[in-house]
Amino acid sequence: VIEGFLSGQEASVFAICDGRDFITLAPAQDHKRVGDGDTGKNTGGMGAYAPAPVVTADVLSTIRTRIIRPVLDGMFEEGMPFIGCLFCGLMIDGDSVNVVEFNARFGDPETQAVLSVLDADVAALFASAARGELDATTVRSVHAGYACNVVLASKGYPDAYEKGLPITGIDAAEADPTVTVYHAGTAEKNGELVTNGGRVLGVTAIGDSLAEAVKRSYAACNTISFATKMHRTDIAAKAL
């Protein structure tokens, strides 16, 4: 078996598909390694941002015409039209684009960033795709500003970690109206919010610039506490 090593930067592009037609959402970049500078073990994703400038207009055009369009046409011709979210996991190196993986779902944590910058009637968009009649007029903009999502994880993740530790500060973080804290590995114990997973919370902020979104997201992270809290400090740094 001979394999090619793919160098470059990974990016994720989600296409909402109705079997024939599709719309691409803002390109995002996940951070798979647990440590800053893409070091340490692979995780489910330690943070993401959108739009990711590594996916230039030309690269997105290539992704649409050379990857998504042939997949949809091929599946339609084989009698299995694809209706749903096509997740294209890509390696981008300049103008060169390679597919690393496809998933028939949204990605985590990219979705928290991608949907935060999607100005659309999302329910109408998804319903129209499900009916096989994708309605692009439901979308005003797929990149209304910038979004950054920083994952607050439990120390030890992706290996063993402690659970059941009290979490505080979410209300204070969300006092900033640009911030939304998504729950991933949390639970309620005796009326108290506690950690219940490796990736605990996804702290997402939006802004008019990526730098602003990143700053707000990290400020919100700093207001949230739990004993084993850890996070990467360089989400989106490659794009800044």
Which residues contact ligand GLY by CB under 6 A?
30, 45, 103, 107-108, 110
Q: Please, which residue, 153 or 193, has the CB nearer to ligand GLY?
A: 153
Give the nearest distance from C-beta 228 to ligand GLY in angstroms: 22
Closest CB to ligand GLY among 80 and 100? 100
Q: Lay out the sheet containing 96-103: strands in order across.
A: 22-24, 9-18, 83-93, 96-103
Least CB distance from residue 43 to ligand GLY, whole Å?
9
- Residue number of the CB closest to ligand GLY reads 107
- Compare residues 184 and 193 and give the one whose CB is closer to ligand GLY: 184
Q: Which is nearer to ligand GLY, 97 or 165 (CB)?
A: 97
Token pair for 33: 């390694």
Between 18 and 110, whose beta carbon lies closer to ligand GLY?
110
Closest contact distance (angstroms) between CB of 103 and ligand GLY is 6
Q: Minimum CB separation from ligand GLY for residue 101, in Å?
A: 8
Cα gap 163→100, rounded to integer Å? 33
- Residue 160's alpha-carbon distances to 47, 193, 197, in angstroms, are 20, 20, 10
Cα angle for residues 230, 198, 237 (degrees, 5° grid):
45
Beta bridge partners of 181: 203
118-149: string of b/e by CB count within 10 Å (b at 16+)?
bebeeeebbebbeeeebbeebbeebeebbbbb
Residue number, 107 or 198, with CB nearest to ligand GLY: 107
Tell me the closest approach of the beta carbon of residue 34 to ligand GLY, in angstroms: 14
Distances in Å between the alpha carbon of 86 and those of 24, 72, 123, 143?
9, 10, 17, 18
At its nearest, how many Å lie between ligand GLY and the CB of residue 106?
A: 7
CA 103 – CA 99 distance, rounded (Å): 11
Q: Please, which residue, 26 or 193, has the CB nearer to ligand GLY? A: 26
